[in-house]
Amino acid sequence: MSKDRYEEAEFKYEKNVKNGLKLLQIVTEALDAYGVDYYLDYGTLLGAVREKGFIEWDDDMDITILNHEDRGTLLKVLKMVESLEKCTVKRITFARSIYQRMKKARTDKSIEVYTKSISFASPTSLRVAKVNTYTVDPENAAKKIQNPLVLDIFVKYPKDDKLFYMGRNQVKSFDKSALGEELIEIDFYHLKCKIPKNYDAYLTAIYGDWKEPIDDHDKPNMYEHLLHQ
């Protein structure tokens, strides 16, 4: 694959893909440095195996750490990333996600609250870490301007024979066997990235029929009813 192909890619939203891949590289290399296994996930995984690149109407990048027990080490990884790149990191727990959903629902009646508690992990357990790049305001060196470039790092939690996570304020799960424990390395633009060896079974567990894209570029999250956030 051509090393400059990433310069031709584009997202539906204005986002510098070149810088996006730079951030992805910094994060994955930091994870590798600390020995934390990860895999591309959700829309980023879909794009990697089906489109051989980013899905152009996707609006972020997604990875998941393979072992939930590595979430403590993930804090060290995030500190390394912050030292290497201009970015802010938000660590969001299940409790915070549920609280924010309930808070929004009080003023917006169109928002439904599905989940008020979880049983597969502590409410204070990490659900996702959001890495958001920023630039400095040229008129105010102390002010950070958040860029529309976000990389989400997710954690899934095992219970019995399933892996659990929360998406769109709903508790979701699938059989552990669909993910498996083996990862493989693939070319993603000019990067080497990890994905589940079982990616077909995994994507089927998450999305159902994932091989045929939903051709609707007017909807930024084409699998919104299934997605993770």
Q: Is 21 part of any domain?
A: yes
pLDDT of 2 higher than 80: no
Q: Is 215 part of any domain?
A: no
d(CA 123, CA 101): 14
Residue 174's domain spans which residues?
Answer: 5-92+128-207
Can you give the pLDDT at residue 136?
A: 84
Q: Is 11 part of any domain?
A: yes
Structure tokens at 92: 């969001």
Write phi, then psi, for 101 (nearest 5 degrees).
-65, -45
Structure tokens at 82: 């912050």
Can you give the pLDDT at residue 117?
A: 94
Q: Is 18 part of any domain?
A: yes
Q: Is 121 part of any domain?
A: no
Compute the radius of gyration of the chain from its Cα atoms: 17
In the chain, the percentage of residues whose pLDDT exceeds 70 is 86
Can you give the pLDDT at residue 146?
A: 84
Residue range 158-181: average pLDDT? Answer: 95
Q: Which of 62-66, 111-115, 138-142, 214-218 has the lowest mean pLDDT?
A: 214-218
Can you give the pLDDT at residue 62?
A: 96
pLDDT of 3 higher than 50: no
DSSP 83-151: HHSSEEEEEEEHHHHHHHHHHHHHH-TT-----S--SSS-TTSEEEEEEEEEEEETTEEEEEEEEEEEE
Can you give the pLDDT at residue 228?
A: 39
Q: Is 119 part of any domain?
A: no
Can you give the pLDDT at residue 55?
A: 83
pLDDT of 101 higher than 60: yes
DSSP 54-101: --TT--SEEEEES-GGGHHHHHHHHHHHHHHSSEEEEEEEHHHHHHHH
pLDDT of 46 higher than 90: yes
Q: Is 17 part of any domain?
A: yes
Q: What is the pTM of this model?
A: 0.86
Measured between alpha carbons, how far apart are the two ends of the chain, in Å? Answer: 31
Count of structural domains within the chain: 1
Residue listed under structure tokens 């992990």: 121
Q: Is 134 part of any domain?
A: yes
pLDDT digits (tens, 9 = 90+) for 181-211: 999 999 999 999 999 999 999 999 999 999 9
Work out the widest C-alpha separation in the chain, in whole angstroms: 55
- CATH number for the domain that contains residue 175: 3.30.460
